[in-house]
Amino acid sequence: MSWHMSTIALLSKALAAKQVSSRELTSYFLERIAKGSRWNAFLDVNPALSMAQADAADEIRANGLAGPLTGIPVAHKDVFVTQGWHSTAGSKMLSNYQSPFDAAVVAHLGMPDEQNPTAAGMVCLGKTNMDEFAMGSSNENSAFGAVLNPWNPACVAGGSSGGSAAAVAAGLAPIATGTDTGGSIRQPAALCGLTGIKPSYGRVSRYGMIAYASSLDQAGPIGKSAEDCAWLLSAMSFHDPRDSTSLADSGENFARYLSQAWSEPQMRNPTKPLSGLKVGLPTEFFAEGLAPEVAKAVEAGAQLLAQLGATICSVTLPKTKLSIPVYYVLAPAEASSNLSRFDGVRYGHRTAQYTDLQEMYKKSRSEGFGAEVKRRILIGSYVLSHGYYDAYYLQAQKIRRIIAADFQTAFNQCDVILGPVAPDVAWRLGEKTEDPLQMYLADIYTLSTNLAGLPAMSVPCGFNQNNMPIGMQLIGNYFSEARLLQIAHQYQQATDWHLRQPSEVT
Amino acid sequence: MEWEVVIGLETHTQLKTQSKIFSGASTHFGAPANTQACAVDLALPGVLPVLNRQAVEHAIRFGLAIGANIAPVSIFARKNYFYPDLPKGYQISQYEIPVVVGGQVEIIFNGEAKLIQLTRAHLEEDAGKSVHEDFIGPHGEPSSGIDLNRAGTPLLEIVTEPVMRSAAEAVAYAKALHSLVVWLDVCDGNMQEGSFRCDANVSVRPKGATKLGTRCEIKNLNSFRFMEEAMNFEIRRQIELIEDGGKVTQETRLYDPDKKETRSMRSKEDANDYRYFPDPDLLPLQINSAWVEQVRASMPILPDVVRKQWQSEYSLGAYDAQLLSQDRATAQLFTALVKLVGQPMAKAAANLVTGELASALNRANLMPSEAPLVAKDLAPLLERVADGTISNKIAKEIFTILWDEAIAGQGQSTIDAIIDQRGWRQINDTAALALLIDQVMADNAKLLEEFQAGKEKAFNALVGQIMKASKGTANPQQVNDLLRKKLT
C-alpha cells in the first residue's frame, strides 16, 4: 500500500478497519524517512521510541479506546520541545539540547497519560528541520542545512516550517505540526503544494514552543487537505493554564462544518454549497510584485469559489505594505529578548575558551547563533534602545493596531478574504540568501494576519509552468477557523490540486 | 554653607506566598541550592510565566493600607540585561504602569507623626544568587556558582518620593514600612534572609535650593543600622566633595559595613540600557473593583487606626501607642490584656507589655508572636498591683517567675499562689507597718541623727531599710507617709 499518498482521514479509516496497524504505518514512514534523507526534512528520529508509541497506540485500539487520530504518525517541527528527541530549533546553540518535558502540543497529540488523559494518541515520527529559531522564509537559515523542495530539489521548501512541509510533500509523514509567526506555516505549505492553517492567536498553547516573537507565534497543522488540518487542529487546541495568552474556550471541533453548506438550510442549493458566502479580494494583494502566474491561479481559485455559490467583491487593506516594517520591528524586538536566555550558562552551546563572563557570553552567542538570528537580535535590541523605543517600537505597535482595524473594516464587507500566500512559487536555493530584504518582501501577504492575530490558511490552487505549486490564502475573522476550513474543504471537493504528488516522490 | 539632605528609598519586600510569582516552585527559604527552581525558573526553552494571584492580592492589600490607587490595569514589562543569576536574560517587572500608585506611610520621627509620600509600588520577580566565595568548580578550580532557588520570588518594590531629610528620618520610615508590611502579613520581614532590603537615593543641596542635587544610589541595605551608617557616610562624603570644589557624579554605590564606607559600584555611563518593553507572554494585569473589595474585606485593622483608638479611648501617649503597634501580635496581646483588666488600667498594661514583656522577648530572642505568656496569664499581675496586694517591684519578680516557668514549659503557677508561697502579700496594715518602722528606727539611730541634722537623704535610706526589713512587702507609699509623720 502507498500509505504516504493517504490523507489522515483515510489512515484513520484504515486503522479503524484493521487494514493496517499503527506499528505497520509507523515503520512504513520511518523507512521512508530513512530513505528520504536527501530532502533534509528531519533533524532527529528515534525509531525505537516511535515504535514503542505505535505499540501503545495499537494497544489502546485493541482495548477499544481509540480516537480518530490514535496510531496515526505525525512529525513535529523542531521548535516544539520533546522528551525523547533533541530539541534544537534549527540552531547550533541547542544542537545537543534535550528537554525534560514535552511541549503542550506534543503532549496533547501524543500518548495519553495521567497528565493528558485525553491526548490524541498519535505517534511521533521525529523532529523536522526549520529555519533557526523560526527566523526565515526558505529554511536556508537552519544550522543543519537547507530543506529541499520535493517538487524540485533545486528549490527551497519555504520556511520557517520547511522541514514539516517537505516531510508531508515527500510522503515522509502523513501530517506535521508547524508554527507561524509571519507566514511560517502558510508559505512552506504553499511552496510545497500543501494545506496549512495558522489559527487565531491564543488558539494553540505556546507552552513548550521555543519562542521567537511571543505576540505573533502560533502553532498549527500542515497536511494534505483541509479535512486533515481540521482534525489535527481540533486535537491541538485546548485551554492551557500554563500559557497566559491561551484562549479560555479554545477547544473546538473544527471539522464540524466541513460537509455543510455555508448558509442556513432554507437557502441551500446542492450545486452551490457556498452560496451566501462573501469573498473579499484585497486590491493591495494583487498589485505590483505578484507573479502573473500566481495572480492567475488565485483569481481562478476565486472564480471556482464563485461557481460554488460565493460572491466575490473587492476590499482594501491600505496598510498592507507597512506590515513588513512593522513586523521587522516588533518580531526582532521580542526575539532579542526571548533569545537572551541562550547565554551558555545553564544549557546550550558554551564556548570552549574564555577568560571572563563577558567573553563567555560574547563567544558563546557569536558561535551559537547564525547570521539571520544575529541580524534580528541586533535590530530588536536597537529598536528597544533608549531614545529609539518611541520612534520604532511604539510607532510599530500603533500601526499594528491600524492594520488590525483595517481587517475589521474589510470584514464589514466580506466573510473571508482571499489572496495569494506568497508573491511567487518556490525560488532556487541560494537565490535570495545574499539579500535579506528580498527575503523579507516574500512575506508581504502573510505578515499582516499575525500582526492582527487572525486565522489564515494556505490552500493549493494550481501550478506554474514549471509545475511548481501555488497556494491561495484564506483569511478569516477571529475564531473563524472552522469556517475557513469549511470553505477550503468545499473547494477541495471540487479540485484536486491538493492531491497531486511531486514526480520526484515515489 | 548649610546643606539640606534629600533621601528617597526603594524597598524590595519579598511577598509571603507559597509559590513563586510566575511559577509553581516553592519560595521556602534555606533549601539546598537549585532544589526550588523549576523549568520556568531555569528559563528552559519553551517555558512561559503565569502570574501568581496571591502576589497581586498582597500588592492590593499594601496599596489599600497606604491609601494608594490600585491601578485597574497595570503592565508587566521586561527589563533586559545579562547576568548569570538572571536565567531569562530579563527580569519581569512593572515599568510604566505599576499596580500601586501614590499613597503614604505614617512615621513617628522626633516624637511627631509625619506622612511619607510614596511614588509607587510595583510587582516584580527576584533574581537568583551568584555564589562567588568558597565555591569550587567541577574540576576543583575556584569558581562561581549559581543558586536559582530565589529566582522568581515575588517582590513588591516600594518607592518613596525624595522627601526624607536625614538618615535618621529615612530609617524611621524604613522601620515603619517594615512593621506595616509585617502587620499586613504580606512579608515575613526577615531582614537576615533578605526579605526586606532597601536602596537609598541620597543627594545634598544648599539649604533653600529647589533643584535637587546629583544623587547616588546605595544598593542592598539589609539592616537598619547599616542603612543609617551608609546614608550618613554618603551625606558626609557628598558634602565634603562639594565643599572641596568637586562634583557628585550619579552612580550606584555599595556599603561596606566593615570599613563603614560606601564605594562606587558602577557609574551612570556604565549603566545598562534595560530596553524595557511590555512582556508579550503576560496579559495586562486587570484588577476590577470586586477584587479590590474582596481584598479590602480581608484586611486586618490598620496600625494607625489602632493607635488613634488607643490614644483617644485609653489616653495612651503617642510613643506607647507606637511601640504597641509595631506588630500585630503585640497589639493583639495589649488589646486582650486591656479587655481583661479594664480600660482604667490601660497605661499599666502598656507599661507591662512595652517593659517587662518586651525586654524578656528581646533577651530570649523571640518574636512577639512567639511570646510564651498570653493576656490571661498577665492580667492578674496588673490586678494585684491595682488592688494593693503587691507592689510594682514584686510584680516584676512574679513576672520573671511566670516567664521562666513558661519558657521551661513547666506548669504555670497562679499569681496568688506565688504571692502566698513567698509571703509577698503587701503589708497595708497601718499598725503592722508602725511596728516595723519603730523597729527600724530603733536599729538605725545614726540615720535618725543624720536626718535630724537636715540630711534628707537619710530619710530615703530609712525607707529603704524598712522595705528591706519587710522583704519588699511593705506598702511603700504608706511607709513614706507614716515615717514622715513619726519624724516631724
Residues B135, B238: one domain? yes
Scanning A294-333 for CB atoms below 8 A from B yields: 333
pLDDT in the model for residue B473? 84
Instruction: List CB contacts (< 8 A) between B276 and chain A.
Output: 384, 389
pLDDT in the model for residue A266? 59
Judge: A100–B44 Cβ closer than 8 Å, yes or no: yes
Residues B193, B320: one domain? no
Q: Which long-range contacts (CB under 8 A, 24 or more apart) does B429-432 make?
A: B430/B478, B430/B482
Q: Say yes or no: A214 contacts chain B, CB-CB below 8 A.
A: yes
Q: What are the CA-CA distances from residue A148 to residues A38, A439, A501, B249 (Å)?
A: 8, 17, 15, 59
Q: Domain containing B482 — which CATH number?
A: 1.10.10.410
Give CA torsion, residues B167, B170, B175, B176, to 10 deg.
150
Residues B101, B216: one domain? yes
End-to-end CA distance of chain B: 62
**SS3 at position A5:** helix
Residues B289, B320: one domain? no
Name the least confident of A232-246, A458-472, B400-414: B400-414
Residues B309, B380: one domain? yes
Residues B56, B149: one domain? yes
Q: Which of B45, B51, B282 sits opposite A94 (nearest CB)?
A: B45
Residues B416, B434: one domain? no
Can you tell me the distance from the alpha carbon of A118 to that of B303, in angstroms, rounded to the nearest whole number? 52
The set of residues, in sequence order, having a beta carbon less than 8 Å from that of B148 and lying 6+ positions away, is B34, B37, B41, B42, B85, B87, B128
Residues B26, B101: one domain? yes
Residues B339, B278: one domain? no
pLDDT in the model for residue A496? 97
Question: Chain B closest CA to A363's CA: distance in Å?
Answer: 14
Segments making up each domain of chain A, as ranges: 3-236
**SS3 at position B464:** helix
Cis peptide before A160 (omega within 30 of 0): yes
Residues B180, B249: one domain? yes
Give the cell for residue B203: 543627594
Residue A233's nearest CA partner among A485, A65, A471, A417 is A485
As for how many domains chain B has, the answer is 3
Can you tell me the distance from the alpha carbon of A497 to that of A499, in angstroms, rounded to the nearest whole number? 6
pLDDT in the model for residue B322? 87
Question: Chain A closest CA to B11's CA: distance in Å?
Answer: 25
Chain A interface mutation, best of B147, B281, B282, B283, highest count of A Cβ atoms under 10 Å = B281
Q: In chain A, whose CA is at the least distance from the CA of B86?
A: A341
One CATH from 3.40.50.300, 3.30.1050.10, 3.90.1300.10, 3.40.50.970 for A3-236: 3.90.1300.10
User: H or E segment at B312?
Assistant: helix B303-313
pTM, 2 dp: 0.91
The last residue of one of the domains, among B249, B271, B294, is: B294
Question: Chain B closest CA to A143's CA: distance in Å?
Answer: 17
Can you tell me the distance from the alpha carbon of A242 to that of A206, in angstroms, rounded to the nearest whole number? 9
End-to-end CA distance of chain A: 12
User: H or E segment at A81?
Assistant: none
The set of residues, in sequence order, having a beta carbon less than 8 Å from that of A379 and lying 6+ positions away, is A328, A329, A332, A336
Q: Say yes or no: A393 contacts chain B, CB-CB below 8 A.
A: yes
Pairs of residues, one from chain A and one from chain B, whose beta carbons lie less than 8 Å apart: 96
Residue B19's nearest CA partner among B153, B181, B124 is B153
Question: Chain A closest CA to B158's CA: distance in Å?
Answer: 24
Instruction: List CB contacts (< 8 A) between B42 and chain A.
Output: 346
Residues B57, B147: one domain? yes
Domain that holds residue B175: 3-294
A184-235 pLDDT, tens digit per residue, is 999 999 999 999 999 999 999 999 999 999 999 999 999 999 999 999 999 9
Chain A interface mutation, best of B20, B42, B44, B56, highest count of A Cβ atoms under 10 Å = B44
For residues B78 and B149, is the Cβ–Cβ distance under 8 A?
no
**Residues of B at the A interface, defined by Cβ within 8 angstroms:** 39, 42-51, 78, 80, 82, 84, 87-90, 146, 273, 275-277, 280-283
The amino acid at B193: E
Sign of CA dihedral B367, B373, B374, B378: negative
Residues B281, B353: one domain? no
A312-340 pLDDT, tens digit per residue, is 999 999 999 999 999 999 999 999 999 99
The last residue of one of the domains, among B271, B294, B317, is: B294
For residues B275 and A331, is the Cβ–Cβ distance under 8 A?
no
Judge: B277–A389 Cβ closer than 8 Å, yes or no: yes
Q: Residue A51 burial by CB count (10 A; 0-12/13-18/19+): exposed, middle or buried?
A: middle
Q: Residue B217's CB: how many other CB atoms inside 10 A?
A: 18
Judge: A207–B42 Cβ closer than 8 Å, yes or no: no
Q: Average pLDDT of chain A?
A: 96
Chain B interface mutation, best of A338, A349, A379, highest count of B Cβ atoms under 10 Å = A338
Catalytic site residues of A?
Answer: 77, 160, 184
For A6-15, letters b (16+ CB in 10 Å) and e give: bbbbbbbebb
For residues A137 and A411, is the Cβ–Cβ distance under 8 A?
no
Q: Give pLDDT tens digits along chain B (488 positions).
A: 899 999 999 999 999 999 999 999 999 988 999 999 999 999 999 999 999 999 999 999 999 999 999 999 999 999 999 999 999 999 999 999 999 999 999 998 988 889 999 999 999 999 999 888 777 877 787 788 899 999 999 999 999 999 999 999 999 999 999 999 999 999 999 999 999 999 999 999 999 999 999 999 999 998 999 999 999 999 999 999 999 999 999 999 999 999 999 999 887 777 789 999 999 999 999 999 999 999 999 999 999 899 999 999 999 988 899 889 988 999 999 999 999 999 999 999 999 999 999 999 999 999 888 999 999 999 999 998 888 788 888 889 899 999 998 888 877 778 888 888 887 888 888 888 888 888 888 888 888 888 888 888 888 888 888 888 888 888 888 888 888 888 87
Judge: A345–B49 Cβ closer than 8 Å, yes or no: no
